[in-house]
């Protein structure tokens, strides 16, 4: 028993955040019966509980998705910000209750040699939504204004052309009927450092930390200047930036989701409850013997 307890404590210590996320999801799912009123409150009740509020917002997201699907709307949500600012966490909370056939997460990797020779926006255009779809961009074409600019992956001329062309490109998207919502997750220096250290110590989360992320710490001021320039050129009345205070992860998730729900007018079109029909009666069917099939060994 002593060895088992030690192993359990070790697993909890190594994967504490993963286990907490799983526990949080289970608690949320138990509260998905909560029925919202169709509109997130302007101010939450005093003493609200995070899990209850998140569950209620996720029910509203489901209503929004049904409205988008049935009305044939096209929605693009962009999540940008510093490394470890919490973009992935809010994307996960948005998507986990939605139908993946109509809500996609796009997180593109390094462009290929062929893509480098294309029009810069081309590979992002391929990921835009069809009618009835929501697309969540975990980083986007704004890579050129941030990491590419700071790390020298693009020329000064390419960067200037991006700042000139990006507002025009986004205006085309909006005029084509796409709902475009842009979020910048802002995290302070001390909080980012704590999150980086957590990732370094946690083997399960270490994949989130790349050499590029570490170098971004060394170029904090350069990234700040690049972000300021990006906002100056691309924060337009038709396609504004919305800044999320991400120093507190849980508050950032709630604030972002509640804000997103207000960007697209929708009606309560939750899927209707269906009656479970009786199973088809046996009519001479005989199940094959288990020994004729390859079963996964039951080691647990």
- pLDDT tens digits, residue range 50-70? 988 999 899 999 999 999 999
The domains of the chain are located at 72-248
Report how far residue 178's alpha carbon sits from residue 194's, in angstroms, rounded to the nearest whole number: 37
**Which has the higher per-residue pLDDT, 12 or 184?**
184
User: What single-letter DSSP state applies at residue 198?
Assistant: H
**Which has the higher per-residue pLDDT, 283 or 101?**
101
pLDDT at 279: 87
| CB proximity list for 94: less than 8 A, separation 6 or greater | 61, 77, 103, 136, 257, 260
- pLDDT tens digits, residue range 146-173? 999 999 999 999 999 999 999 999 999 9
* Phi, psi (degrees; rounded to nearest 5) at 248: -110, 115
Question: Residue 8 — pLDDT band, cuts 50, 70, 90?
Answer: low
Per CATH, is 72-248 categorized as 3.40.50.300?
Answer: yes
- pLDDT tens digits, residue range 13-51? 544 555 566 566 666 666 655 555 445 556 677 778 898
**Which has the higher per-residue pLDDT, 176 or 43?**
176
CA angle 180, 181, 187 (to 5 degrees): 150
Report how far residue 98's alpha carbon sits from residue 28's, in angstroms, rounded to the nearest whole number: 14
| C-alpha torsion sign, points 155, 158, 160, 162 | negative
Report how far residue 89's alpha carbon sits from residue 256's, in angstroms, rounded to the nearest whole number: 11
Report how far residue 195's alpha carbon sits from residue 135's, in angstroms, rounded to the nearest whole number: 27
pLDDT at 38: 47
pLDDT of 113 over the 60 cut: yes
- pLDDT tens digits, residue range 246-298? 999 999 999 999 999 999 999 887 777 788 899 888 888 888 999 999 999 99
Q: For residue 98, what are the CA distances in angstroms to 27, 94, 168?
A: 17, 7, 31
């Amino acid at each position: 028993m002593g060895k088992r307890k030690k192993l359990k404590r070790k697993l909890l210590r190594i994967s504490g955040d993963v286990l907490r996320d799983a526990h949080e999801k289970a608690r949320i799912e138990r509260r998905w019966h909560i029925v919202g009123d169709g509109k997130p409150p302007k101010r939450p009740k005093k003493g609200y509980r995070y899990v209850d509020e998140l569950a209620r917002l996720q029910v509203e997201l489901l209503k929004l998705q049904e409205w988008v699907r049935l009305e044939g709307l096209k929605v693009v949500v962009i999540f940008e910000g510093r490394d470890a600012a919490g973009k992935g966490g809010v994307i996960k909370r948005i998507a986990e209750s939605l139908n993946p056939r109509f809500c996609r997460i796009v997180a593109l990797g390094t462009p290929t040699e062929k893509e480098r020779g294309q029009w810069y926006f081309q590979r992002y255009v391929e990921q835009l939504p069809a009618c009835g779809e929501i697309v969540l961009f975990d980083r986007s074409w704004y890579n050129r204004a941030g990491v590419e600019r700071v790390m020298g992956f693009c020329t000064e001329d390419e960067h200037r052309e991006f700042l000139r062309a990006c507002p025009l490109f986004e205006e085309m998207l909006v005029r084509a009927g796409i709902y475009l919502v842009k979020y910048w997750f802002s995290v302070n220096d001390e909080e980012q450092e704590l999150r980086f250290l957590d990732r370094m110590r946690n083997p399960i989360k270490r994949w989130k930390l790349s050499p590029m992320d570490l170098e971004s710490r060394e170029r904090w001021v350069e990234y700040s200047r690049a972000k300021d320039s990006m906002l100056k050129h691309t924060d337009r009345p038709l396609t504004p930036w919305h800044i999320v205070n991400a120093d507190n992860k849980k508050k950032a998730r709630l604030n972002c989701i509640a804000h997103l729900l207000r960007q697209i007018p929708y009606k309560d079109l939750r899927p209707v409850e269906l009656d479970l029909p009786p199973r088809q009666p046996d009519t001479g069917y005989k199940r094959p013997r288990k020994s004729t099939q390859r079963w996964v060994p039951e080691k647990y």
